[in-house]
Amino acid sequence: MNTQVPEQVATAQKVCVEALYGFFSTGFATYERLVALNLQATKASILENEALASEALALSTSDPQSFFELQSRQSQAATKKAQAYWQHVNEIAAETRNQLLASNEKLAGEYVRGTQVIIDSLAQNLPAGNEAIIAFWSKGFGAMWDAGNAWHEQTKAAAKEAVDVIDKARKSVAKA
């Protein structure tokens, strides 16, 4: 019995667990950034609204025309602030997406390499006289390898397409 195979399987499982926690960590860091952005935006909004309310109250009694001009200017400023806010959200989303795609690519590469090492180790350590088993393993694992590579390429293409769609949507929001 080959003792390397269980060690290699354990190593592969460790890589998967580390990748899972890496995804969680990236997601949590993104959540923290969004919460910080929302807190900052809320605080600024409260302070601005307080100042605006004081100014509007003073203008509403003395000069109604200036009051309406103030409301118009505030409406335009609010639109620009909303656009800036969503631009920040889009930047955070794009950075997170890039980090997750890079992590996914790295994990897939490590998984493929680890699987190949396990397959090679099993094939080399079969008892002599079992050529039929070796041929079966070679063909079976070769087919699995090809299917895995095809799936990996399809996943990469789908992820790239999703990234392109998100980028187009982000750019259209930024232009609006």
Q: What's the 3-state SS for the chain? A: CCCHHHHHHHHHHHHHHHHHHHHHHHHHHHHHHHHHHHHHHHHHHHHHHHHHHHHHHHHHHHCHHHHHHHHHHHHHHHHHHHHHHHHHHHHHHHHHHHHHHHHHHHHHHHHHHHHHHHHHHHHHCCCCCCHHHHHHHHHHHHHHHHHHHHHHHHHHHHHHHHHHHHHHHHHHHHHC
Please give the average per-residue pLDDT across 80-106, as a whole number: 86
Residue 167 pLDDT more than 90?
A: no
| Number of domains within the chain | 1
Residue 93 belongs to domain spanning: 4-175
Residue 1 pLDDT more than 60?
A: no
- Report if pTM > 0.75: no
Greater model confidence, 77 or 63 = 77
